[in-house]
A and B are shown apart, each in its own frame.
Chain A
């Protein structure tokens, strides 16, 4: 057994020498990291059990005191996207594919023709900041129902126009996924308008996801394809989202 004084001195030395001792927890394959990350399943089940299908808090017009803070990609450079943007997204199509009975190709006109939902909500970035804005869009559940998910479908994957990273193997385009519980939640919408105007490019034009009970990185911007799938294993490194593949939680409720 460690002598108590040694224990205290060790603790003090640890604090003074900086915390490089625990830097191993940063490596995604380390045993320490796996131990620490073991809470994620518990955290997700606990939150799901507590929130059920309750709504995220909504705010009033007077709570909108500033423009929406853009973050991550703010101006996609791909030629496809540039072409669509130059034409005011007139030729934009949202593709709904994968495990569905009726694959869809929807224009902005098709999407705005669906009964819209408008909500004033607080956007929480994983970094710690928040910003309140008004979002209007087509409920994702409505769009999915048009396509008719097959019984085997479990996840909804979002593919985006923005290259979040340029690596040796080429550009990595942003990808995200949610499960069907969040996909059919009434506040989960494909937003085409923000603060009473068309969605600006910096905030994800022409179409972005809103998943109000999770953190900002779940709310994919510049969405062009929605794919229903039964597994996330073949997407990216298999964790289901660009940021989950880089150590963040796939279920970002906290």
Chain B
């Protein structure tokens, strides 16, 4: 492909905050799964139903004859997940050691790591929202009317793995990044705070918003899964559209554009 000029496409603050988010989310996910292992089920409402059933997900281990089986129950339907969920490496634990920090069971350590990176994430997101809101960068992520008209074409181009390297965000890119920065991450932070008995006293309206501490915990978990989905698509798009150019852009700021079409 003919090469166009290098353009300065990512401001320093965006590059720094991007990598703070990336590192923080890595640790938050794996320490979060460590915390989840202390009570590996998700519920709807204020409390956990011990005398009644309000669970939508339960991961456990059951002795079946000689064998210890991992059983995952989703919305009342049971799956045998031995080897991955419930039982892994012959040990009864909901999420396997490879996906938790630390690898062994330690709720206290998981919490310490989780809250450390939660502060990093909140700090970086707040800084980015304020600064990019003031300097107008944030507007680049909000789809315009023209963008929305170009949406079918952008979807068709992505489906044919045809990527435009203009140094500007395409509409699908805008929608993906905006939903992470303006929806998923704030939702993660607010549902996380809703689980804090201290913060509940400061902002009881959050409990009303999310319909209870356990529902907030469930939304926290589901949003984590959505962020993993975003990460998978993000990586796939970078690999397909040119990983070197993308990494140069998010690390140094400089992005190689396609040659401008000749009129």
Using a CB–CB cutoff of 8 Å, the interface residues on chain A facing chain B are 4, 8, 11, 15-20, 22-23, 25-26, 33, 35-40, 42-43, 47, 50-52, 54-57, 59, 63, 65-67, 69, 122, 124-132, 212-215, 243, 246-249, 253-254
Asked if B198 contacts A59 (CB within 8 A), the reply is: no
Residues on the B chain within 8 Å of A243, using CB? 108
Q: Are B49 and A65 in contact (CB under 8 A)?
A: yes
Q: Give the CA-CA distance A248 to B106 in the complex, in Å.
A: 10
Report whether B198 and A122 are in contact in the complex, using a CB–CB cutoff of 8 Å: no
- Min CB gap A243→B, angstroms: 8
CB distance from B16 to the nearest CB of A (A): 16
**CB contact under 8 A between A124 and B213, given known A36-B112, A39-B116, A56-B200:** yes
List 3 A-B pairs, minimum CB-CB distance, nearest first. A253-B198, A247-B108, A128-B39
Q: Which residues of B lie under 8 Å from residue A130 when comparing CB positions?
A: 46-48, 213-214
Partner of A129, one of B39, B98, B198, B251: B39
Beta-carbon contact of A18 and B201 below 8 Å: no
Least Cβ distance of B142 to chain A in Å? 30
Chain A residues positioned under 8 Å from B111 (CB to CB):
126, 248-249
User: Are A18 and B98 in contact, with the CB atoms below 8 A?
Assistant: yes
Residues in B whose Cβ lies below 8 Å from that of A16: 98
> Would you call the interface of chain B mostly helix, strand, loop, or mixed?
helix
Known contacts A42-B119, A128-B35, A254-B198; A18/B103 CB under 8 A? yes
Q: Which residues from B are CB-within-8-Å of A26? A: 102, 104, 106, 109
B60 to chain A, nearest CB (A): 14
Q: Which one of B100, B115, B199, B204 lies within 8 Å of A50 (CB-CB)? A: B199
Given A4-B247, A18-B97, A122-B213, is A23 in contact with B104 using a C-beta cutoff of 8 Å? yes
Can you name the residue of chain B whose Cβ is closest to the Cβ of A216?
B197
Whole-angstrom CA separation of A59 from B44 in the bound complex:
17
Q: For B165, list chain A residues within 8 Å (CB).
A: none
| CB of B178, distance to nearest CB on chain A (Å) | 25
Q: Which of A4, A18, A19, A213 contacts B198 (CB 8 A)?
A: A213
Q: Known interface pairs A19-B103, A54-B201, A214-B197. Does A122 touch B116 (Cβ–Cβ under 8 Å)? A: no
Are the C-beta atoms of A19 and B197 separated by less than 8 Å? Answer: no
- From B200, which residue of chain A is reached at the shortest CB distance? A57
How far, in whole Å, are A67 and B204 apart by their CA atoms in the complex? 24
Q: Given the complex, which residues of B lie within 8 Å of A43, measured CB to CB?
A: 115, 119
Known interface pairs A23-B103, A126-B38. Does A47 touch B109 (Cβ–Cβ under 8 Å)?
Answer: no
Kindly supply a per-residue 1/0 record for chain B positions 92-105, scoring 1 wherever the CB is within 8 Å of any chain A CB and 0 otherwise. Answer: 00000111111110
